[in-house]
């Protein structure tokens, strides 16, 4: 058997009811949205870190990260700006693969995702630690483009898309929640599209 051609494990994100969350409109396009400019990333110096309240802090170069087991995840995108894009095939490394190596401590209950240019977003560890959450470097069979987060982005299908940080560099496990960039700028902390958790009241 040729191991190189072995397909990645595939997970389908569980279908929610209704498939189109309230207030959303389905689109076939894939808009580009972010604050600031697309960072220039050099794979020779790129690294991903997992640290904070973990037993075994991790640090991977791009080359090392490419040796981790791969998964495919099939999921829908729901952006708070009201567009939804169905049937995205993501490929990369499962978040569980990454967390399993770092071993979060029992006091570590939140994840602060750090990305290029100081961008952060926050999730309870239980929301992150799911079969359909991955660190993706490919979409629909092609490498991610720089404006969609190349070389690596987080994908959290069951939350509005702003939680899916592009250009991820670090996952910090923390004992306390810490609202991220959009969460500090009026977006809801939980971001569940089926509950229309778009904006915060404070």
Told to check if 90 binds ligand MTE by CB under 6 A, we report: no
Which residues within the stretch 125-184 sit at the binding site for Mo ion (CB under 5 A)? 162
Of the candidates 115, 134, 152, 155, which one interacts with ligand MTE according to CB under 6 A?
115
Beta-bridge partners for 21: none
Of the candidates 60, 110, 150, 182, which one interacts with ligand MTE according to CB under 6 A?
182
Contacts made by residues 193-201, CB under 8 angstroms, sequence distance 24+? 193/21, 193/22, 193/24, 193/78, 193/158, 193/159, 193/160, 194/16, 194/21, 194/22, 196/21, 196/22, 196/23, 197/160, 198/23, 198/80, 198/160
Taking CB under 6 A as the binding criterion, the range among 12-20, 26-34, 86-94, 95-103 that sits at the site for ligand MTE is 26-34
- Give the whole-angstrom CA distance, residue 79 versus residue 74: 17
Closer Cβ to Mo ion, 119 or 162, answer by number: 162
Of the candidates 110, 164, 172, 191, which one interacts with ligand MTE according to CB under 6 A?
164
Closest separation in Å from C-beta 105 to ligand MTE: 26
């Amino acid at each position: 058997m040729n191991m190189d051609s072995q397909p990645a494990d595939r997970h389908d994100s569980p279908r929610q009811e209704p498939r189109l969350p309230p207030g959303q409109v389905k689109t076939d396009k894939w808009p580009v949205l972010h604050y600031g400019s697309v960072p220039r990333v050099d794979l020779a110096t790129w690294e991903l870190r997992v640290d904070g309240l973990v037993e075994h802090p991790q640090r991977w170069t791009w080359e090392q990260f490419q040796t981790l087991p791969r998964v495919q995840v099939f999921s829908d995108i729901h952006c708070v700006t009201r567009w939804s894009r169905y049937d995205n095939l993501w490929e990369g490394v499962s978040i569980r693969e990454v967390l399993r190596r770092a071993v979060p401590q029992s006091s570590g209950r939140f994840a602060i995702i750090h990305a290029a240019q100081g961008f952060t977003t926050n999730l309870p560890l239980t929301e992150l630690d799911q079969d359909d959450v991955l660190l993706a470097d490919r979409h629909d069979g092609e490498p991610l483009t720089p404006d969609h987060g190349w070389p690596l982005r987080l994908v959290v299908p069951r939350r509005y898309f702003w939680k899916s940080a592009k250009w991820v560099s670090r996952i910090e496990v923390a004992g306390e929640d810490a609202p991220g960039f959009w969460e500090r700028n009026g977006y809801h902390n939980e971001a569940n599209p089926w509950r229309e958790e778009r904006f915060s009241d404070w």
